[in-house]
Every structure is written in C-alpha cells, then in structure tokens.
Amino acid sequence: FMFPSSQAILDYATHRLLWSWYRRDSEAQGREPDQDGEGPDQGSS
C-alpha cells in the first residue's frame, strides 16, 4: 500500500497515535473521557 505523499503519512501516523492515546486514557479512566469533562489531574492537551 502506497501513501500519496509524505504529508499523508504524517497525517495517518498522527491520527493513529492520538487515537491510541485516547483509547488508552479512556480505558485507564474506566469511563468515557468526556463524560464529566476534565479530571482533577488531567490536562486539556
């Protein structure tokens, strides 16, 4: 499978990385991360 450009590779990699972090944080919290907003020790970054 060939990516059309280096930018597409960056976009794809960034999306996968952010999604993996989102899933990990969600599972670690044991709930949906946006259920009640930010936690006491969780930044908005």
Residues 8, 1: contact at Cβ < 8 Å? no
Q: Which residue has the tokens 């949906």?
A: 32
For residue 27, the model assigns a pLDDT of 83
State the Cα–Cα distance between residues 15 and 2, nearest whole angstrom: 17
Q: What angle do CA 26, 38, 28 make, to 5 degrees?
A: 25
31/28 Cα distance (integer angstroms)? 8
Tens digits of residue pLDDT in 1-45: 666 799 989 999 999 999 999 899 888 877 655 555 555 666 655
Taking the model in full, what pTM does it have?
A: 0.42
